[in-house]
C-alpha cells in the first residue's frame, strides 16, 4: 500500500473516533470506555506506517512539503495522546482530539498539498532538525489547545450542570489546567530550540541570523504570542476561561496561517 493510502486509512479511523466521540458527549462522559483509545491507537499504526514508508521511499525525513508537515504534526498529537491515555482520567482527551485529527487529516489529503519539496542533503541536517523541532512544538500546542477545550467543557458543566460534571469521568479542572500549561511550556521550549537552530542554519549558510522573510516574521510573532502566555502563567498564575481561550485562539491562529506564510517564503521554497 502507498503511504497516502496508509494515511487515508488512519484518517478513516480518526473519523470513526469522531463519530464515537459524539456518543460520549451525549452520555456526559460517564463511561470509561477504552474503545476510543484503541481506535486511535489503531489509526496511529497506519499513520506511523505512512510516515516511515514515505521516508524510506524518498530516503529523507518526510517533512518537506505541506502534506508531510501536516502528517508529522498530527502524528505528534496522536503520540502525545497515547501517552496521556495510559492514565484513565485522560483517555477522553481523544474525544476532543479526534475531530481535529479527522478534519486536518482530510485537509492534508488534498493533492495540491503533496507537491515535491526540496531534496535534502547531509549538509542540510540542521535544517531538518529545525523543521522537526518546530513541528513537534506545534503538535504540543495543538494538544494543549485540546486540553484547554476539555477545561472549558468541564468548567461549563460545573457552572450549569453540576450532576453531569460530578459523574463525568473527566479530570478535574485543576488537573486540566496543569496539563494545558505543561504542554504549552513544553511546546514553547521546543519552538525556541527550533528557531535557534534555524537561525544558526541561516547564519552558517546565508551569512545572517534573521531577515524579513514572511515565514521568519510569522514565526517570531508566534513565538512572542506563546511567550506572553507562558509569562502570564508564570507571573500571576493566569488561569480560567480567558487563559484557556487564549491557548485555543493562539493555536487556531497558528493552524489557519501556517500554510499561507509557508508558500511565499523564499527560505522554505528556494
> 171 pLDDT exceeds 90?
no
Same domain, 213 and 179: yes
Select from 120, 144, 168 the last residue of a domain. 120
Residue finishing a domain among 120, 135, 159: 120
Task: Looking at the structure, tell me whether residues 171 and 95 fall in a common domain.
Answer: no
Confidence of residue 181 (pLDDT cuts 50, 70, 90): confident
Residues 208 and 227 in one domain: yes
Same domain? 166 vs 259: yes
Domain boundary among 73, 99, 120: 120
The answer to whether residues 216 and 194 belong to one domain is yes
In tens, the pLDDT along 36-86 reads 888 999 999 999 999 888 888 776 666 667 788 788 888 888 988 888 788
Question: How far, in Å, CA of 12 to CA of 15, rounded?
Answer: 5
Residue pLDDT, tens place only, 109-168? 887 777 765 554 434 566 667 777 887 788 888 888 888 887 887 776 666 555 554 445
251 and 208 in one domain?
A: yes
Q: Are 221 and 227 in contact (CB under 8 A)?
A: no
| Mean pLDDT taken over the chain | 78
Mean pLDDT of 230-245: 81
pLDDT confidence of residue 197: 84
The pLDDT of residue 119 is 52
- Kindly state whether residues 179 and 259 are assigned to the same domain: yes
User: What pLDDT score does 234 carry?
Assistant: 82
Residue 130 shares a structural domain with residue 7? no
| Same domain as 94, residue 17 | yes
Average pLDDT over residues 162-179: 62
Q: How many domains does the chain have?
A: 2
- The pLDDT of residue 83 is 82
Q: Return the top range by mean pLDDT from 5-9, 88-92, 135-139, 257-261.
A: 5-9
pLDDT for res 143:
82
Q: Which residue has the higher pLDDT, 31 or 18?
A: 18
133 and 251 both lie in a single domain: yes
- Residue 82: what pLDDT? 87
Kindly state whether residues 194 and 181 are assigned to the same domain. yes
- Which structural domain range is residue 68 located in? 1-120
Percent of the chain topping pLDDT 70: 75
**To the nearest whole percent, how much of the chain has pLDDT over 90?**
17
Residues 129 and 247 in one domain: yes
Amino acid at each position: 500500500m502507498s503511504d497516502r493510502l496508509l494515511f487515508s486509512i488512519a484518517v478513516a479511523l480518526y473519523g470513526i473516533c469522531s463519530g464515537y466521540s459524539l456518543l460520549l458527549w451525549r452520555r456526559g462522559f460517564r463511561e470509561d470506555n477504552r474503545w476510543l483509545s484503541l481506535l486511535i491507537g489503531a489509526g496511529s499504526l497506519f499513520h506511523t506506517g505512512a510516515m516511515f514508508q514515505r521516508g524510506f521511499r524518498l530516503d529523507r525525513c518526510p517533512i518537506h512539503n505541506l502534506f508531510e508537515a501536516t502528517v508529522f504534526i498530527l502524528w505528534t498529537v496522536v503520540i502525545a495522546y497515547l501517552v496521556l491515555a495510559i492514565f484513565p482520567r485522560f483517555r477522553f482527551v481523544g474525544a476532543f482530539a479526534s475531530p481535529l485529527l479527522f478534519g486536518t487529516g482530510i485537509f492534508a489529503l488534498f493533492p495540491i498539498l503533496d507537491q515535491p519539496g526540496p531534496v535534502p542533503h547531509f549538509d542540510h541536517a540542521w535544517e531538518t532538525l529545525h523543521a522537526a523541532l518546530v513541528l513537534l512544538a506545534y503538535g504540543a500546542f495543538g494538544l494543549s489547545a485540546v486540553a484547554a477545550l476539555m477545561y472549558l467543557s468541564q468548567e461549563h458543566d460545573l457552572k450549569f450542570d453540576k450532576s453531569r460534571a460530578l459523574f463525568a469521568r473527566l479530570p478535574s479542572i485543576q488537573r486540566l489546567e496543569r496539563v494545558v500549561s505543561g504542554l504549552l511550556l513544553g511546546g514553547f521550549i521546543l519552538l525556541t530550540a527550533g528557531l535557534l537552530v534555524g537561525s544558526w542554519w541561516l547564519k552558517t549558510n546565508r551569512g545572517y541570523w534573521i531577515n524579513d522573510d514572511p515565514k521568519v516574521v510569522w514565526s517570531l510573532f508566534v513565538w512572542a504570542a506563546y511567550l506572553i502566555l507562558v509569562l502570564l502563567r508564570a507571573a500571576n498564575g493566569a488561569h480560567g476561561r480567558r487563559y484557556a481561550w487564549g491557548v485555543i485562539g493562539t493555536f487556531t491562529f497558528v493552524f489557519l496561517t501556517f500554510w499561507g506564510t509557508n508558500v511565499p517564503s523564499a527560505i522554505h521554497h528556494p
